[in-house]
Amino acid sequence: MNTTNNDFNEILSKVNKMNLSFEKKNRLIEIIKITNIPKRKPFLNFFIVFSTSLIFVVLSFVIAISCAPTRTNTDITGITFPVIFFSGMAIIIFLHGIKQIKNDRYLYENYNNNANEYKLQIAIRKLNKEKQVKKEEIERQQKIQNEKQVKYKQNSINIPKCPTCGSTNIRKISTTRKVAGVIGFGLLSKTAKSQFECKNCGYKW
């Protein structure tokens, strides 16, 4: 499958007809330009996926076997997590890899004789992946921002406020000042009976 100038112009025409923003169209064209056409049907990925999955499975069994002699029946939870983790990773990698291989083969088999459409479909898939990654990053940042706002509100609730003016510009009355208040004005001293003093209006409570 070779792409000539006329073919590329045909691809550009298809891209321009798509309901995409100018920025996304340019990005799609950039991806098309660097997309390589495979010379044969994709198959190597299957062995890579299978081998990687197998490594994780073997690791889980190695951990289980190496830890088993030193563990009792009541202390088995220590090896349960790594076994489940590595086995789970193996399953995820295998399933995701198989899906990717199927997609690659589908594109190759259906557009084997149409370089234009092949490159366009590959570019669309990559663009969708980029959009998904960007969306997940925005959601992650939004989650962090929401957590900060919740924490700020919780801290704001816990900050004492002046019951008179509502100011948070307050200070705690020290023991020394309380003693001084008792000495100067007796047990009826407002300073002696209070815990806080507002720096804004001077109220004590």
Q: Which domain holds residue 202?
A: 160-205
Phi and psi for 114 in degrees, rounded to 5?
-135, 90
Is 50 exceeded by the pLDDT of residue 1?
no
Residues 84 and 145 in one domain: yes
Residues 172 and 137 in one domain: no
Residues 114 and 33 in one domain: yes
What is the greatest pairwise CA distance in the chain? 100
Burial zone of 2 (CB within 10 Å; 0-12 exposed, 13-18 middle, 19+ buried): exposed
Residues 114 and 74 in one domain: yes
Residues 175 and 189 in one domain: yes
Residues 181 and 80 in one domain: no
Residues 170 and 134 in one domain: no
Residues 90 and 182 in one domain: no
- Give how many domains the chain has, as a whole number: 2
Residues 53 and 150 in one domain: yes
pLDDT tens across 189-201, in order?
A: 777 778 888 988 8
Distance CA 67, CA 61 (A): 10
Residues 147 and 192 in one domain: no
Distance CA 144, CA 139 (A): 9
Phi and psi for 173 in degrees, rounded to 5?
-80, 125
| Entry pTM | 0.43
Residues 177 and 136 in one domain: no
pLDDT tens across 45-102, in order?
A: 566 666 776 777 777 777 666 665 555 544 445 556 666 776 777 677 667 667 777 7
Residues 148 and 204 in one domain: no
Burial zone of 118 (CB within 10 Å; 0-12 exposed, 13-18 middle, 19+ buried): buried
